[in-house]
Amino acid sequence: MIAEPGTADNLALVRARIAGAARAAGRDPAEVTLVAVSKTKPVALVRPALDAGQRVFGENRVQEAEDKWPALRDRFPGLHLHLIGPLQTNKVTSAVAVCDVIQSVDRPKLARHLARAFDRTGRRPDCLVQVNTGEEPQKAGILPGEADAFLKDCREVYGLPVRGLMCIPPFDEEPALHFALLRDIAARNGLPVLSMGMSDDYETAIRLGATHVRVGTAIFGARPPVKPQS
């Protein structure tokens, strides 16, 4: 199978724009990690990114992560896989086995299951708490008003290695307001990692302090449309 033309070029462009946005904000480009979101894309289309040196990837489904990534780890040392989608408790053991970072810790029940899986397996992927900054009923994430208490429980009750926060702003609102809100919650909780910004708004996110941007379409091209969450 021939790789989709342009992936390596797209990747180079995104990297250049990340560096430009960081410098414009007076930040060191090395402070911003590009998470290349490879969900729905087969390995043949991900390969050009690996060949171009990309090592940090994001998947939103545990099953897809398991199908695609373990076989690539041997060939591409230094791979770092982030789970960026909702995590069901019955998938926690698999997620802990296959992922290096879990960006979608969003409820006490999940935190409890993760803590047990960490004890059982000895693996401790870094955790980010997903905040539903737009308070959208259909979207995952802890509400902003409950974030401080949940973060405290994640650390003190469940003992999770929580390193930061993640958000997905409402698609029809100015993302900067949501990025600023996430930054404030992280700052007052002493958290260094901010995962925010996608293909359409990662430069804005970097201006507001993103340490991780999650970019799919701008690197790998459009995905087939998904049915809206109901």
Ligand X SMILES: *Cc1c(COP(=O)(O)O)cnc(C)c1O
Amino acid at 167: C
Pick from 48, 125, 141, 216 the residue near ligand X by CB under 6 A: 216
CB 151 within 8 A of CB 129: yes
Could you give the angle at which helices 175-188 and 147-156 cross, rounded to 10 degrees?
A: 40
Under the criterion CB under 6 A, does residue 86 sit at the interface with ligand X?
Answer: no
Least distance in angstroms from the C-beta of 40 to ligand X: 9
CB of 101 to ligand X, least distance (A): 12
* Rounded least distance, CB 201 to ligand X, Å: 9
Long-range pairs for 135-139: beta carbons < 8 A, 24 or more residues apart:
136/170, 138/228, 138/229, 138/230, 139/168, 139/170, 139/229
Total residue count of the chain as it appears in this document: 230
Q: Is residue 10 part of the contact set for ligand X (CB under 6 A)?
A: no
Q: Amino acid letter at 197?
A: G
Specify the residue, 88 or 217, whose C-beta has the smaller distance to ligand X: 217
CA distance 94 to 117: 9
168 binds ligand X (CB under 6 A): yes
Angle (CA) 42-95-74 rounded to 5° is 55
Range in contact with ligand X (rule: CB under 6 A) among 12-20, 70-78, 110-118, 210-218: 210-218
Binding-residue pattern over the window 37 to 66 for ligand X, x denoting contact by CB under 6 A: x-x--------------------x------
Contact pick of 36, 84, 114, 196 for ligand X (by CB under 6 A): 84
d(CA 148, CA 227): 33
CA dist 190 and 120 (Å) reads 28
From candidates 41, 82, 178, 214, binder to ligand X by CB under 6 A:
214
Residue 219 Cβ, how far from ligand X at the closest point, in Å?
Answer: 8
Select 102 or 168, whichever has its Cβ closest to ligand X.
Answer: 168
The residues that touch ligand X, with contacts defined as CB under 6 A, are 37, 39, 60, 84-85, 168, 198-199, 214-218
